[in-house]
Amino acid sequence: MLKKKEQFMRLIFLFSACTSIIAVFLICIFLFANGIPAMSKIGVFNFLLGKNWKPSNALFGILPMILGSIYVTAGAILIGVPIGVLTAMYLSLFCPKKLYRLIKPAIELLAGIPSVVYGFFGLVVLVPFIRNYIGGNGSVMLTASILLGMMILPTIINVSESAIRAVPSNYYEGGRALGASHERSAFFVILPAAKSGVFASIVLGVGRAIGETMAVIMVAGNQARMPKGLLKGVRTLTANIVIEMGYAADLHREALIATAVVLFIFILIINLSFSLLNRKSI
């Protein structure tokens, strides 16, 4: 009787464990089954490297969007990584306890804000600010990068902070015993020792930035053309899918799914490098 119960429970556990794998598997099948034929119809080369996206003329080149995603993400990293890593250093090694109790929940809150709210903030605050003080019409690559930079901060801060805290204290003591100041030990012993964790946080940040959709659509301008500069509008892969999915049909629709395939492969590469980094840190 007990044996049967045990076997039954084991099946339930196995099934639960498999659920997420099945989900990923199904998404994979759906994406590739719909996307690959479209790619071959358009031509892989024309699809990935084509500079024109004009569905009405049957031109399906997504290079502008690929570059758009990469540029916006790079901008977000440029803004988010220095601020995020330095914040993590401050929180783990310099911050007085009282202030920590204030900052930490604030960062956690930042992580919990829905992206559409970020988008609204961008639309109401950042877009007019850029338009009035820097140039362009406001809905430009720079705005999207700044907003995304803010959005990836919690990821970078939290992951980096735990990496920095995980550095054994005997490294720090070794540094201090050689006559290095607290600051020098922090930046030249602890930070290098936490390197792989900090890189992992950056990779996760890239993943978050490249997959972000709603906030970007609201501030990026979304023109489907080759990116022309920081103060010009830009369209990302995610934006491309969401904006046109509502009315697309036939090959156009399949081309959008193929866009998702490209995005999926991007994320796959990012996750792979994340797990490689993690393995190295152990």
Partner 1 sequence: MEKFKITDLDLYYGTFKALIKVNLTIEANQITAFIGPSGCGKSTLLKSLNRMNDLIEGCRIDGNVLLDGEDIYGNIDVNLLRKRVGMVFQKPNPFPMSIYDNVAYGPRTHGIHSKIKLDEIVETSLRNAAIWDELKDRLKKSALGISGGQQQRLCIARALAVQPEVLLMDEPTSALDPISTSKIEDLISELKERYTIIIVTHNMQQAVRISDKTAFFLLGQVIEYDTTENIFSNPRQKETEDYITGRFG
Minimum CB separation of residue 92 from partner 1 in Å reads 16
- Coil vs helix vs strand at 196: helix
Residue 108 sits in the site that holds partner 1 (CB under 8 A): no
Tell me how far apart the alpha carbons of residues 55 and 241 are, in angstroms, rounded to a whole number.
13
Residue 41 sits in the site that holds partner 1 (CB under 8 A): no
CA distances, 178 to each of 170, 184, 193, 219 (Å): 12, 11, 17, 51
- Closer to partner 1 by Cβ: residue 149 or 197: 197
Residues 188-247 that bind partner 1 (CB under 8 A): 188-189, 192-193
CA atoms within 13 A on the CB side of 54: 5
- Closer to partner 1 by Cβ: residue 65 or 191: 191
CA distances, 44 to each of 39, 40, 218 (Å): 5, 6, 30
Minimum CB separation of residue 278 from partner 1 in Å reads 16
Residue 94 sits in the site that holds partner 1 (CB under 8 A): no
Residue 95 sits in the site that holds partner 1 (CB under 8 A): no
- Closer to partner 1 by Cβ: residue 131 or 165: 165
Residue 171 sits in the site that holds partner 1 (CB under 8 A): yes
Q: Which residues pair with 59 in a beta bridge?
A: 54
CA distances, 5 to each of 17, 41, 256 (Å): 18, 53, 48
Do residues 71 and 230 make contact, with C-beta atoms less than 8 angstroms apart? no
Residue 173 sits in the site that holds partner 1 (CB under 8 A): yes
One of 40, 137, 181, 275 touching partner 1 (CB under 8 A): 181
Do residues 147 and 219 make contact, with C-beta atoms less than 8 angstroms apart? yes
Residue 150-169 contact track with partner 1, rule CB under 8 A, x = bound: ------------------x-
One of 43, 105, 114, 174 touching partner 1 (CB under 8 A): 174
Instruction: Give the binding site for partner 1 (CB under 8 A).
Output: 168, 170-171, 173-181, 184, 188-189, 192-193
